[in-house]
Structures are given as C-alpha cells and as structure tokens.
Amino acid sequence: MKKVLAGGVFNTIHPGHVRFLKKAKSLGDFLVVVVANDKTVLKKKPLLKPQEERKRALERLGIADKVIIGDERDFLRVVKKEKPDVIALGYDQEFDKEKLESLGCRMVRIKRFGSYSTREIIEKNK
C-alpha cells in the first residue's frame, strides 16, 4: 500500500484545496491529511477556525482516509509516525527537502488550480 501525506492550514476550504487533495489522493492508495495546529498557524497568519473544526471539515469532504492535527513543535514527528511513501506539497508550501528526503519520502509538488486564494477569500469577506 502506497501512503501519501499532505498538509495545510485549511482555514477555509475552497475548490483549490479540493483539487489539491484529490491530486494527492491519486498519488497512492491511502491519503493522510495533516491539519496545521493552531499555534503553528498563528505564527504565520490569522486563524479563522480552531484546529478541531478544520479537521472535521476535511473529514466531511471524504477525500482523505485519515485526518490528523499536526505536532506543534516538530512537523517531522507526524512524518516519522505516518511513514508516507509520498509527500504531496502545494504550489506555495515551503519545506526542507533534505530533512524529508532523509526520511525516505518522495516529494511531489502539486500545481495551483485556478486563482483560488484563502487570503483573497478572507479579504473579500471582511
């Protein structure tokens, strides 16, 4: 079984997220989605919904086989625990290639779909 891991904040789920998750799922047999925990999110951007609410929204989508909340201190803990074969990255996600490849994971960058942007959605709804 080929396991794929994908992650993100998922402050508000839009069609770009859905496309990203479907593409990630197509890379293997089992998709684990990691929702960024609240403390991690707040270091970089505003938090619209708490982590449990974001997790439930992703579970309701029905794309992921498993949805978990990321570790607040070290994102690699989740990678080490889940042992994915593939890590699917969004077009705008930064990562430490050496660290991830040292764990035996193949990285796949998924291209942007449309012009969807969580930041723009937030700005429009203010």
Active site residue 45: yes
Report the phi/psi class of residue 115: left, alpha or beta, with left for phi > 0 and alpha for psi in -120 to 50: alpha
The residue from 2, 39, 45, 80 that is catalytic is 45
Active site residue 25: no
Please answer whether residues 118 and 36 qualify as being in contact, where contact means their C-beta atoms are separated by less than 8 angstroms.
no
The residue from 2, 3, 43, 44 that is catalytic is 44
The conformation of residue 9, written as its DSSP 8-state character, comes to -
Rounded distance between C-alpha atoms, residue 107 and residue 31, angstroms: 14
Give catalytic residues, as residue numbers.
Answer: 44-45
